[in-house]
Amino acid sequence: MKVKNNVIINMYLRMKRIREFETKAMNLFAEGSIPGFVHLYLGEEAVATGVCANLDDKDYITSTHRGHGHIIAKGGSLNEMMAELFGKEAGYCKGKGGSMHIADATKGILGANGIVGAGHNIAVGAGLSAQYQKSGQVCVCFFGDASTNQGTFHEALNLASIWKLPIVFVCENNLYGISMSQTRHQAIKDIADRGVAYNVPGVAVDGNDVFAVYEAADEAIKRARDGQGPTLIECKTYRHRGHFEGDAGAYKPKEEQEFWMQKDPLPRIEKYMIDNKVVTPEELEKLKAQVMGEIDEAIKFANESPYPELASAVQDIYSDIVEEGRVR
């Protein structure tokens, strides 16, 4: 497959944004600047990027508790994300949702989600709406390996298949469900195999190679737009950090970590870009500097935003309809 240079550079920028955003979030969390929980996407950048590079703003994604990467890859605002992590009023959820509830309807981002497996069925709803309205939209559902043991995964694949919904199910198999190795939580190795039970084509790809993900997603999204129904893509990847910040990840063998660090997606795409003269080394440094500038700007934006007013703590909890009903 030929991938245009501007697409490659765009994918690199997205991956680098995720890498630097997450690295900064890691450090800020350690310093105590970020309240709540953060689950970092470090190491998995190629998955969200390779998939979302094939999508438009009007296409939907559903995300997970480890959602920063999906949101950045889909074009979410770094400023509003960082402000949300800081609990500031200028954040995506006015500072009241934190890391796991970021959504952006203008970008088709249907929300990060603290409940494992909750995105599957939201994706089916989004896919059904796209099909019903003949809008040409596609919904990509991101989820982890362990969530495929939830009933929602099976219900979603079944419905999506029987109704031929325009959905791409993208499994980020990072080998662990929290701290439990995949070998201990399911009696299969390839989650792609689970598609067969629902007559959904399942393919497994190297999730740390952005081009492999891009190609598979390209084909799957074409199928979805063409009315051929859902696809299951399993991306084999690895999270560099623990399940959440604070989890030292002692259950991950050292050799395994070293093996996967050699497959780190960022150096791979950088090497490709240099080797294939997509950019010169100087241009690559400029791209890196551009991203670092964006991250610094996001932190500045977050720092300068006020905390939400105390009175707003009970606002946005219930819809206005309910509030109005109570008044009546």
* 258 forms part of the interface with another protein (CB under 8 A): no
What sign does the CA torsion over 85, 90, 95, 100 have?
negative
**What is the distance between the alpha carbons of residues 156 and 253, in angstroms, rounded to a whole number?**
34
* 271 forms part of the interface with another protein (CB under 8 A): no
What sign does the CA torsion over 308, 311, 314, 320 have?
negative
Q: Which of 89, 155, 219, 294 touches another protein by CB under 8 A?
A: 219
What tokens were used for 68?
A: 């920063």
* 165 forms part of the interface with another protein (CB under 8 A): no
Would you tell me how many other CB atoms lie within 10 Å of the CB of residue 84? 28
Q: Which of 12, 169, 198, 211 touches another protein by CB under 8 A?
A: 211
User: In the stretch 2-41, what mask flags binding to another protein with x, by CB under 8 A?
Assistant: xx--------------------------------------
* 276 forms part of the interface with another protein (CB under 8 A): yes
> Which residue number, 187 or 310, has a Cβ lying nearer to another protein?
187
* 162 forms part of the interface with another protein (CB under 8 A): no
* 202 forms part of the interface with another protein (CB under 8 A): yes
* 157 forms part of the interface with another protein (CB under 8 A): no
Those residues with Cβ within 8 angstroms of residue 200's Cβ, 6 or more apart along the chain or in another chain: 157, 160, 161, 169, 229, 230, 231, 232
User: In the stretch 95-134, what mask flags binding to another protein with x, by CB under 8 A?
Assistant: ----------------------------------------
> Which residue number, 28 or 46, has a Cβ lying nearer to another protein?
46
* 155 forms part of the interface with another protein (CB under 8 A): no
* 264 forms part of the interface with another protein (CB under 8 A): no
> Which residue number, 83 or 192, has a Cβ lying nearer to another protein?
192
> Which residue number, 33 or 149, has a Cβ lying nearer to another protein?
149
Would you tell me how many other CB atoms lie within 10 Å of the CB of residue 317? 9
> Which residue number, 251 or 272, has a Cβ lying nearer to another protein?
272
Q: Which stretch binds another protein (CB under 8 A): 52-60, 132-140, 269-277, 290-298?
A: 269-277
Q: Which of 220, 273, 291, 295 touches another protein by CB under 8 A?
A: 220
> Which residue number, 8 or 139, has a Cβ lying nearer to another protein?
8
* DSSP track, 35-104: -S-----TT-HHHHHHHHTT--TTSEEE--SS-HHHHHHTT--HHHHHHHHHT-TTSTTTTSS-GGG--B
What sign does the CA torsion over 14, 8, 142, 116 have?
negative
| CB contact at 8 A, 84 and 102 | yes
| CB contact at 8 A, 210 and 46 | yes
Those residues with Cβ within 8 angstroms of residue 144's Cβ, 6 or more apart along the chain or in another chain: 64, 66, 116, 171, 172, 173, 174, 177
* 179 forms part of the interface with another protein (CB under 8 A): no
For 179, phi then psi, to 5°, come to -110, 5
* Residues near another protein (CB under 8 A): 1-3, 183, 188-190, 192-193, 196, 201-206, 209, 211-212, 214-216, 219-220, 223, 231, 236, 255, 259, 272, 275-276
